[in-house]
Amino acid sequence: MLNFYRLKQDYLKFDGNERLDLINRLSTNEVGSLEKSKGIKTILTSDKGRFVDLITVYNFGDFVFAVCSFNNSRNVLAHLDKYTIMDDFKPTDMAGTHETILFYGEKNESLAKDIFDVDMSSLSNNDFSIYVQNNRHSMIAGYDDIFGGFHFIYASEDSDYWNNKIFTAENINKYGLKEVNDNDYEVKRIEYGIPAFGKEMSDLTNPLECGLNQYISFTKGCYIGQEVIARLDTYDKISKHMIGVKSDIAIPMTETIGEIKITVDNKECGFVTSSAVSNEFGNIGLGFVKTIFLDYNKNYKIKYNNSFIDCRITKLPFSKN
């Protein structure tokens, strides 16, 4: 079966001769040397090492196209503007102008080849290929996270055209195409232990606590938040870790991140950030536990409205073992 999910994202465009250099100086990964048709994920952090956003940067050669979290483009632009002084850098908010479909599962490579004439084996990580038909431009981008598969990004004004081209009765039958709804996608995200912006990625956490080391270069020059992140890594001072939570009853959630506390031995030691009901693992969630209280063999509790729910914590991703 080939699953597809309509991702909710915001989009940005960066022009100017110093577009890559500025992003490189403001984010965690090595962006300055990014070649044309290559993509990379990097994290914008505050001077305290907290999240501004995890963005994906695509180098088109004469401009940079970027993807950020949904409803967060203005916040990203405000952060970039704060540190843009004399740089030749011109950002544009393109939220609402594009759409993204994530294809993952069996036959995703066959679909990419048959419909878009793209050999996915030629695209590593977030590298991308341009696809044009009837003067309509789109891009196929490799996807480097646990879902695998690829991203298909296109202009919103061409939505009907691409949907009619891809989701024909013949293609649905041939590839076993099945649309994943928001709830099922959220369940899979939590099962895989993928942090989400506004939940696990917030002003309460930093990239190391979320296990996002793969998007951090520890050899590049300075960037905003670098001193904090480097110190945490060098001296192994990560104060809390993202963990999985399991319970025999539904795990409560509120809109306020950090409000649902985790306790052990009658002491508050962490908080819950996401929850879902999984067909495979039952009542599960994501959260953080302070390093000094981290013990996967202990019994923990979730504190909610002055009542307590028994729970267990687990390493990620969730597994039956």
CB 311 within 8 A of CB 246: yes
| Whole-number pLDDT of residue 143 | 85
CB 207 within 8 A of CB 216: yes
| Whole-number pLDDT of residue 46 | 96
Given 3.40.640.10, 3.30.1330.40, 3.30.1360.120, 3.30.70.260, which CATH number is that of 1-166? 3.30.1360.120
Q: Which residues pair with 312 in a beta bridge?
A: 246
Q: What is the pLDDT along the chain (321 residues), one digit of tens a residue?
A: 999 999 999 999 999 999 999 999 999 999 999 999 999 999 999 999 999 999 999 999 999 999 999 999 999 999 999 999 999 999 999 999 999 999 999 999 999 999 999 999 999 889 999 999 999 999 999 987 888 899 999 999 999 999 999 999 999 999 999 999 999 999 999 999 999 999 999 999 999 999 999 999 999 989 999 999 999 998 889 999 999 999 999 999 998 899 999 999 999 999 999 999 999 999 999 999 999 999 999 999 999 988 999 999 999 999 987
Overall fold of domain 189-314 = Gyrase A; domain 2 (3.30.1360)
Question: In angstroms, rounded to a whole number, what is the distance separating the alpha carbons of residues 107 and 3?
Answer: 9
Task: Parse the chain into domains and list their residue ranges.
Answer: 1-166, 189-314
Question: In angstroms, rounded to a whole number, what is the distance separating the alpha carbons of residues 238 and 219?
Answer: 19
Question: In angstroms, rounded to a whole number, what is the distance separating the alpha carbons of residues 217 and 45?
Answer: 13
Question: In angstroms, rounded to a whole number, what is the distance separating the alpha carbons of residues 228 and 296?
Answer: 28
The reply to whether 1-166 and 189-314 are identical in fold is yes
The whole model's pTM is what?
0.95
